[in-house]
Structure 1
Amino acid sequence: MAHGEEKVRAVRGSFVFDQLTLEAACALHGVPEATARRWKREAKQAGDDWDRAQAAQLLAGGGIEDIARQTLAAFVQQVQATTAALQADTTLAPDVKAKMLSSLADSFAKLMAGNRRLMPETDRLAVAMDVVKRMAEFVAKKKPALAHEFVELMEPFGDDIARVYG
Structure 2
Amino acid sequence: MAHSQETRQAVRRAYVVERLALERAAKRNGVSYHTARAWKKKAREDGDDWDRARAATRMAQGGLGDLTAQLLEDFAILFQHTVEEVQSGQYSALQKAEAISRLSDAYTKTVKAAGGGDPRIARLSVALEVLERLAGFVQAQFPEHAGALMAVLEPFGQELAAAYG
* TM-score where L is the length of structure 2: 0.37
Higher-helix-fraction structure: 1
Computing the radius of gyration from Cα coordinates, the structure with the larger value is: 1
* TM-score where L is the length of structure 1: 0.37
Structure showing greater relative contact order (alpha-carbon pairs closer than 8 Å, 6 or more residues apart):
2
